[in-house]
């Protein structure tokens, strides 16, 4: 590539990254554009989570050997480039890494590798945060020169900055949603809740000025319906106002367990956690307890919250002794998707394990943010 082509590539990718708001779509589009403008043939991107698990999130023009069984061998197992990247040994664009996955594909005769046996690897980072790994290759290409590596590294820096922006945007959207829920809860409390309370006691007071039994019966019905609606409204307001947990998470889970008629035992880290973290833990735990109440037929529930202040990392676990279920057959049910999404929004992970007749465990692992949201704040 000449200088003008390099500048056009950087500019085009910057424009694309600036407008994208969804992580996986952004990574796929930028990979397509990079291959188109750099005359490279194939590429793929791994995205890492906080537990150093990887996910293949973008790929383009893969050879038959890597497409084998719907990219099964790209999505599973380890390899040199990922191991070096996660081990802190791949700090910048690396000239050539012999592809372990392609070696296996060739040895096991999974299909035509189309002359691709090596690739360049580039970590996708923003500051010190590692988001993923970009791999690119072309048939029979055995070496990337200094300028090519420099361009790939520049692109990876741009992608890393876009990843950080999208993650922050997702977190901001979550905060806005919580603010709107609080506003709705206040409005319900100040208007509908008070009106129901007035109707209930107006009906009760009106009975004293009439001896008509039919009127008494109607007023009793109004009173009872208003009372039921008031109780439902209070429960709705209580669930909506989840960003400020005045009584503390432990007390709230104990109260909610009692409401669901569950035997809940809590062991909690005692210090105050950041509000964003309490909110997420509460909503995931609430969903988990609802699942236990509806489906598990459990006699006991154990809830644990621990904090590793060195990492720093928060681990939240809800475990029951109920009937269990087959997780693969209910991966989109029982609110499982909702719990995972809530954890992912703040860079955490939610894992559900279960065995028939041996109970279910929901495990959540969430990093504590460094920017001012420390324990005790």
Note if the bond before 312 is cis, omega within 30 degrees. yes
Confidence of residue 335 (pLDDT cuts 50, 70, 90): low
| Buried b or exposed e, range 22-32, using 16+ CB within 10 angstroms | ebeebbbbbbb
Q: What are the domain boundaries of the chain? A: 3-169, 245-377
Provide the edge-to-edge strand list for the sheet that holds 94-98: 54-60, 42-48, 129-137, 118-126, 94-98
* Contact criterion met (CB below 8 Å) for 110 and 74: no
Instruction: Give tens-digit pLDDT for 141-160.
Output: 888 888 899 999 999 999 99
The band of 161, judged by pLDDT with boundaries at 50, 70 and 90, is very high
245-377 has the same fold as 3-169: no
- Mean of all residue pLDDT scores within the chain: 84
Domain 245-377 sits in CATH 1.10.1060.10: no
Tell me the per-residue pLDDT of 337-375, one tens digit each, with 9 for 90 and over.
778 888 888 889 999 999 999 999 999 999 886 443 334
pLDDT by residue (tens digit) across 196-238?
A: 888 888 988 898 888 888 898 999 999 889 888 887 777 667 6
Pair of tokens at residue 220? 């009793």
Tokens of 296: 């598990």
Query: Would you state the pLDDT for residue 334?
Result: 54
Q: Which CATH superfamily is domain 3-169 in?
A: GAF domain (3.30.450.40)
Share of the chain above pLDDT 70, in %: 90
Residue 51 banded pLDDT, cuts 50, 70, 90: low
Confidence label for 245 from pLDDT (cuts 50, 70 and 90): low
pLDDT for res 21: 82
């Amino acid at each position: 590539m000449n200088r003008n082509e390099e500048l056009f590539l950087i500019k085009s990718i910057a424009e694309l990254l600036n407008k994208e708001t969804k992580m996986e779509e952004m990574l796929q589009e930028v990979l397509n554009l990079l291959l188109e403008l750099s005359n490279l043939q194939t590429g793929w991107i791994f995205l890492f989570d906080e537990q150093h698990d990887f996910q293949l999130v973008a790929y383009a023009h893969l050879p038959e050997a890597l497409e084998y069984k719907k990219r099964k061998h790209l999505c599973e197992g380890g390899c040199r480039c990922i191991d070096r990247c996660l081990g802190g040994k791949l700090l910048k664009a690396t000239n050539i890494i012999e592809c372990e996955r392609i070696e296996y594909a060739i040895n096991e005769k999974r299909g035509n590798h189309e002359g691709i046996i090596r690739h360049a690897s580039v970590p996708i980072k923003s500051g010190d945060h590692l988001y993923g790994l970009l791999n690119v290759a072309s048939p029979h290409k055995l070496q990337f020169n200094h300028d090519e590596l420099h361009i790939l590294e520049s692109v990876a820096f741009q992608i890393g900055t876009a990843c950080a922006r999208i993650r922050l945007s997702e977190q901001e959207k979550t905060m806005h949603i919580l603010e709107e829920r609080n506003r709705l809860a206040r409005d319900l409390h100040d208007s509908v809740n008070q009106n129901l309370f007035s109707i209930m006691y107006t009906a009760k007071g009106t009975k004293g000025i009439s001896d008509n039994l039919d009127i008494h019966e109607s007023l009793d019905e109004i009173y009872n319906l208003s009372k039921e609606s008031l109780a439902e409204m209070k429960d709705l307001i209580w669930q909506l106002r989840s960003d400020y947990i005045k009584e503390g998470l432990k007390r709230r889970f104990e109260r909610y367990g009692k409401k669901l008629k569950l035997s809940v035992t809590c062991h909690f880290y005692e210090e105050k956690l950041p509000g964003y973290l309490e909110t997420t833990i509460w909503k995931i735990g609430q969903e988990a307890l609802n699942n236990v109440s509806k489906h598990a037929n459990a006699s006991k529930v154990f809830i644990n919250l621990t904090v590793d202040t060195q990492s720093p990392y928060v681990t939240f676990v809800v475990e029951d002794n109920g009937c269990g279920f087959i997780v693969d057959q209910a991966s989109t049910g029982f609110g499982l998707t909702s719990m995972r999404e809530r954890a992912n929004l703040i860079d955490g992970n939610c894992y559900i394990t279960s065995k028939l007749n041996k109970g279910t465990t929901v495990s959540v692992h969430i990093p504590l943010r460094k920017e001012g949201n420390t324990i005790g704040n």
